[in-house]
Structure 1
């Protein structure tokens, strides 16, 4: 049963390396591509982790389906029950964390909408009175379409051209439904601690995506950079109300965002470089999917093989599994 442990450990350790590769790849991609790549990687890595834990949790049950008594399973692999129990506890903890996180998301969204009801405005813009300096994209809630919420303190801080940047930035968040990508990766981060770094990376690239959209709308990258810097400085000095599930113009590492806006617009790789990077992204995503699925499936198949060996019955893949079992010292 050493092979079972190797399978599970690979799946549980793989997200650390997979997350590092995904972050590195995102850093060389345009913001839009980076956001989708990070979201896909988070989903696949979280799915692989859950599949591995489910497989380990079901080892005793899979053995019983193969008509192997539980007593015999414990004799061959004494750690089967403890490991299955730990996997069950891990799955239960993940379920609780996911549910709590989801409830937190809904609660914060509800609170934000209650705050937004104090605002006035036309169309998708709501101006909330108060001295707080803030602006954020508020996703739709219970049939209400998304809105851009801006405090009167933020309106006073920015100049006319900079206000246009702010509105274009937040509209980019709403139009691109960036809150969904953010929520997916945030929930995935509850499954495995390695995925928390993807949540931070996604937050940065989502803001970069909105920054580039705002710069294209305004037609001036320097004005866009100045507006973001001014808004961030004003919020830092005056504070903001807590509890908003926001995608805000002042979020993320603002200095890096401003620096990126002072450079030429990032473009998709062209020619050979474009093909190489596109293939690299596809290969990374495919590798994550294949490794996660193959290891989870391998766990199930190995239990079936082990059961057939205990029963003394021939098994189709016994040559392969027997060789692996011998190699790994089971």
Structure 2
């Protein structure tokens, strides 16, 4: 049983190391590649955790396949049923949390659409009247396509050129379907707590992705940096007075000073040569590390069930 438990510990502990590797690798990649890397890592961590727990849950079932009576299994392997029950309870809890988080996402999206019912505009732009200074990308909902939502207060706070940067930033969130990546990683946090650090990193890189698209659209990185800083400062001040901003992708999300500093530097490019190989090896190592853990768990469970079956038959 020690071997089995060790395999489970390895499988469940893997996401903590994978989270650190994924965040480190994302920091060396352009924003778009970083976002996809973090999302893939989150899915990998969640999938590995579910696989480990599922393996434990099926231990009694594996014993039944070996035609071992349940009573004799408990005598030879007393921890089998309690371990399977614990895994089952944990998986049920994960399912409940996952459903609750999903329903919360839908509720927030519905509330967001209701809050902009009085907005006007053309194309993908929706201007909402009011003194609040806010702007965010509103994903599509029930047949309605996504819109760029900007309050009248934000429109007044920015100059014409700065508004174009803001529109391009929020439009990048919609066209890149950043809300899908964000939702996938956020839902994955209900499976393993290590994914929360990945979610924090993803929020920053999603904003960096939109920042770079906005800068490219206006052709002036310094002007884009100034516009984003101005919009974020205006929005942040309003959010402090309102007690928090809306939980949607917005120009004021993430560490704004780091984003502005990045825009003031050269355009990020994919690593070349040794850096690219190092990044690829790092990601490959992260993915490959889950395979031995899963194989070790499967092998350990199989061997222990075989051992239990032999012991029962020989008694």
Q: Report the equivalent of 1:327.
A: none
Aligned counterparts of 1:148 and 1:241: Cα–Cα separation in 2: 22
The more displaced of 298-307 and 142-151 is: 298-307
Query: Is the 1:105–1:245 Cα contact (8 Å) retained in structure 2?
Result: no
| 8 Å contact kept, 1:59–1:303 | no
- The unaligned stretches of length 5 or more in structure 1 are 314-330
| Partner Cα separation in structure 2 for residue 101 and residue 208 of structure 1 | 25
CA-CA distance at 1:281 after TM superposition = 2.2
Q: Check conservation: 2:128, 2:151, Cα contact below 8 A.
A: yes
| CA distance in structure 1 between the aligned counterparts of 2:227 and 2:258, rounded to whole angstroms | 14
Cα deviation, 1:254-306, whole Å, max 9, x if unaligned, reads 11111111111111012333233233323323433x24542453354334433
Per-residue CA deviation, residues 27-68 of structure 1 (Å, 9 max, x unaligned), is 111111111111111101101101111111121122122211
Answer whether contact 2:128 2:150 (CA < 8 A) is retained: yes
Whether 2:113 is the aligned partner of 1:102: answer no
Residue 306 of structure 1 aligns with which residue? Answer: 307
1:188 matched residue in structure 2:
188
Change (3 A) 1:36 1:291: farther
Aligned to 1:5: 5
1:115 aligned partner? 115
State the match for 1:321 in structure 2.
Answer: none
Whole-angstrom distance in 1 between the partners of 2:299 and 2:128? 56
- CA distance 1:241–1:125, shift in 2 (3 Å): farther
User: Structure 1 residues 164 and 10 mapped into 2: Cα distance closer, same or farther (>3 Å)?
Assistant: same
CA contact (8 A) 2:10 2:293 kept: no
Alignment of 1:1-330 (within 5 A): 1-239=1-239, 244-288=246-290, 290-291=291-292, 293-310=294-311
Structure 2 runs not aligned, ≥5 long: none
Q: What SS does the corresponding residue of 2:67 show, helix, strand or coil? A: coil
- RMSD of equivalent CA atoms: 1.8
Kindly state the Cα deviation for residue 91 of structure 1 after the two structures are TM-superposed. Answer: 0.6
Whole-angstrom distance in 2 between the partners of 1:255 and 1:96: 38
Give the whole-Å Cα distance in 1 for the aligned partners of 2:192 and 2:75: 32
Aligned residue-pair number: 312
1:285 and 1:128 map into 2 onto residues whose CA distance is: 45
Q: What is the TM-score of this pair, normalised by structure 1? A: 0.89
